């Protein structure tokens, strides 16, 4: 039996968590649970260098557990370029890469992801209007990129299509880890709160959902939305959202005041036989 644990959106800096203490507590729990692979779906810090440092420290403590991570939009804000996100080779960094689990036919594929405004199709806005709203109200305005959001998501789509086709050719069962929302099922549409209807433009892409369905991906791990979602099967795919979320004076999404308790409660553990 192989045990995989997944988390996302720990936001250790925003939540003002003592990092070294959290690492020790997380490492103790992961080793106690005999986790083989610990997957981090992005948004650990608003600084990619801090995310990499965190992963390196944790990986040393939990070895031989494998720690694999991708970047969320918050990680992308500082100390990393688009080119580095695409081609970087930090230990455990899984964007547009895969890891095959020994003695099984499972493959873990990682993809940071992005968005193309397609989840906001209930809002009658142009691409330019979505972009202007993003730059005025959304934290991603701090992320530099050499292309439009639609073009960036087009690259993501091509990468995922290639990864899934390779997995299919090799008869691999896929566990996909991505940061952004991979299925419309998880998108919140409202008639009385325009902000969230516009924010849906930055949640993900319907084209990712289409690829997941086309290749009949077995399991998908994601973050980005801070909801308490139990694992759910949509069509043939099981979806796991492991976001810990915010705990501060502006946004209190926790059910307790203890980070480790929230992290454990949101941790998704998958057992492969």
Q: CB–CB of 218/175 below 8 Å?
A: yes
pLDDT at 190: 86
238-244: average pLDDT? 97
Q: pLDDT tens for residues 215-235? A: 999 999 999 999 999 999 999
CA distances from 230 to 3, 186, 240, 241, 267 (A): 18, 12, 7, 7, 10
Q: How far apart are CA 266 and CA 207, in angstroms?
A: 27
In this predicted structure, what is the pLDDT of residue 273? 82
pLDDT in tens, 166-202: 999 999 999 999 999 999 999 999 887 788 899 999 9
d(CA 210, CA 212): 5
Count of CA atoms in the C-beta half-sphere (13 A) of 145: 20
Q: 């549409």: which residue's tokens?
A: 189
Q: Are 96 and 111 in contact (CB under 8 A)?
A: yes
d(CA 81, CA 89): 13
Domains of the chain: 2-272 (3.60.21.10)
**pLDDT classification of 250: cutoffs 50, 70, 90:** confident
Predicted pLDDT of residue 192: 75
Q: If you average pLDDT over residues 103-131, what whole number do you get?
A: 96
pTM of the model: 0.96
pLDDT tens figures, 32-91: 999 999 999 999 999 999 999 999 999 999 999 999 999 999 999 999 999 999 999 999
């Amino acid at each position: 039996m192989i045990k995989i644990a997944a988390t996302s959106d720990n936001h250790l800096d925003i939540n003002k968590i003592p990092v070294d203490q959290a690492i020790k507590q997380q490492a103790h729990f992961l080793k106690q649970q005999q986790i083989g692979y610990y997957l981090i779906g992005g948004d650990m810090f608003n600084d990619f260098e801090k995310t990499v440092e965190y992963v390196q420290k944790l990986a040393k403590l939990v070895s031989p557990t494998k720690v694999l991570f991708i970047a969320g939009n918050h990680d992308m804000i500082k100390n990393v370029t688009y080119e580095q996100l695409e081609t970087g080779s930090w230990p455990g960094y899984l964007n547009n890469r895969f890891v095959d689990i020994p003695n099984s036919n499972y493959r873990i594929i990682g993809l940071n992801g992005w968005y193309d405004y397609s989840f906001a199709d209930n809002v009658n806005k142009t691409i330019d209007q979505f972009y202007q709203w993003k730059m005025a109200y959304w934290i991603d305005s701090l992320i530099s990129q050499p292309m439009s959001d639609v073009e960036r998501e087009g690259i993501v789509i091509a990468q995922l299509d290639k990864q899934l086709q390779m997995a299919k050719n090799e008869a691999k069962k896929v566990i996909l880890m991505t940061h952004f929302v991979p299925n419309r099922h998880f998108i919140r549409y409202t008639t009385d709160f325009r902000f969230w209807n516009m924010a849906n433009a930055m949640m993900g892409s319907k084209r990712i959902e289409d690829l997941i369905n086309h290749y009949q991906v077995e399991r998908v791990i994601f973050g980005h939305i801070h909801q308490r979602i139990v694992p759910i099967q949509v069509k043939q795919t099981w979806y796991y959202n492991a976001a810990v979320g915010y705990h501060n004076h502006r946004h209190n999404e926790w059910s307790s005041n203890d980070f480790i308790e929230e992290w454990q409660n949101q941790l998704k553990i998958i057992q492969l036989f």
